[in-house]
Copies of this chain bind each other. A is one copy, B any other.
Amino acid sequence: MRRPTIADIARQAGVSKGAVSYALNGQPGVSEATRARILAIAKEIGWRPNLAARTLNGARAHAVGLALCRPARFLGVEPFFMELISGIEAELSARSYALLLQVVGDHEAEMGVYRRWWGEGRVDGAILVDLHVDDPRVPQVQEMGMPVVVLGHPSAAGSLVPVWADDSSAVRETVEYLVALGHRRIARVAGLPQLSHTAIRDRAFGDVCADLSLDSCPIVHTDYTGEEGARATRRLLSSPERPTAIVFDNDIMAVAGLSVAQEMRLDVPADLSIVAWDDSPLCQVVRPPLTVLTRDIPAYGAHAAQRLLALIDGAEAGPLEDEAPRLTTRGSTAPPA
């Protein structure tokens, strides 16, 4: 049982392929009566447009690509990507676009994937995430001429369209809040130093600490895992200038830090205040529940997808600044004892 084609419909309706094409695509060139007849036949025999045939005529592939370049075990850890993907999807599926996903090992492999997808006509565009400082992917995709939206700060996006949020102001808001509570020694447990958003947050943290002339404001870099988060916390809490507050770059490290504090018989929040970046069910489930920097990640993904679809449609798309992360206070922050 072959899939029905427009030729089958044409034969049944007693018209030409061309007329069927017009009818099915809502284009002028057929009478309403004929159109209705053709649509009825198409429905009856269960006709679906063959995407390959359409694509071959220079039409869109109706798919966009996303290559994620983090080891599988890190991907699973953070809800971020799954939420991002569901946001992207919500937008794409409304327009019947598909998402092509690939998990790759490094940036070279990632570029290989994009080149292949683009070269094969499999995707109409892509979303670039996890920008690095001086990211080599930016000039490379620019050169490919593929429509691309970048999730990250405009300063790192070259001439690509960026969708971003103001992490700096979020960092500032957090530190100012902690200082208002009375903290003078605040530490930051950051993610991978080569990521551009880590650099931006690091700088903002340094700046605000200098502005407020804090006593100490160390930054420790990690790989986002709970183990490194725990180790960093242990190190910070063992130092002579022990911080009274720590801001973590993700939820899993914050929870690990909380465990370390409890292990060391420090009370949270009396002896140590904790702030996590990105809210997740996890943050609300532990005791005390964690004060967090909240982002609407699905919306972030949806906006990126919107911008990309606009770009694919040939529209001029400018950068989009999304809502900055908001501080949501819970039980893990308080004035130092």
Shortest Cβ gap from A124 to chain B (Å):
12
Chain B residue nearest in CB terms to A48: B119
Chain B residue nearest in CB terms to A257: B285
The answer to whether B122 touches A98, judged by C-beta atoms less than 8 angstroms apart, is yes
The answer to whether B99 touches A86, judged by C-beta atoms less than 8 angstroms apart, is no
Q: Which of A98, A229, A252 has the most CB of B within 10 A?
A: A98
Interface presence of A33 (CB below 8 A): no
Interface presence of A166 (CB below 8 A): no
Interface presence of A15 (CB below 8 A): no
- Distance, CA A98 to CA B101, complexed state (A): 7
- Distance, CA A181 to CA B253, complexed state (A): 33
Shortest Cβ gap from A235 to chain B (Å):
16
Interface presence of A212 (CB below 8 A): no
Shortest Cβ gap from A125 to chain B (Å):
15
The answer to whether B56 touches A85, judged by C-beta atoms less than 8 angstroms apart, is no
- Distance, CA A102 to CA B51, complexed state (A): 17
Interface presence of A316 (CB below 8 A): no
The answer to whether A281 touches B262, judged by C-beta atoms less than 8 angstroms apart, is no
Residues in B with CB closer than 8 Å to A73 are 83, 281
Q: Which of A104-138 contact B (CB under 8 A)?
A: 104, 113, 115-117, 119-122
Interface presence of A182 (CB below 8 A): no
Residues in B with CB closer than 8 Å to A113 are 93
For chain A, what secondary structure do more than half of its interface residues adopt (helix, strand, loop), or is it mixed? helix
The answer to whether A49 touches B120, judged by C-beta atoms less than 8 angstroms apart, is yes
Residues in B with CB closer than 8 Å to A98 are 100-102, 117, 122
Residues in B with CB closer than 8 Å to A72 are 82-83, 86-87, 90, 298
- Find A51's partner among B89, B120, B227, B284 (CB 8 Å cutoff): B120
A-B contact pairs, 28 of them (CB 8 A): A3-B121, A48-B116, A48-B119, A48-B120, A49-B120, A51-B120, A52-B121, A56-B56, A63-B100, A72-B83, A72-B86, A72-B87, A75-B83, A75-B86, A76-B86, A77-B79, A77-B280, A77-B281, A81-B82, A82-B82, A85-B101, A93-B103, A100-B100, A226-B284, A226-B285, A227-B281, A262-B287, A286-B286
In the complex, besides A46-B119, A48-B115, A286-B286, 11 extra interface pairs with C-beta distance below 8 angstroms are: A3-B121, A76-B82, A77-B280, A77-B282, A82-B82, A98-B117, A100-B100, A100-B101, A226-B281, A252-B281, A259-B286
Shortest 9 CB-CB contacts between residues of A and residues of B: A48-B119, A76-B79, A72-B86, A52-B55, A226-B285, A51-B120, A256-B285, A76-B83, A76-B82
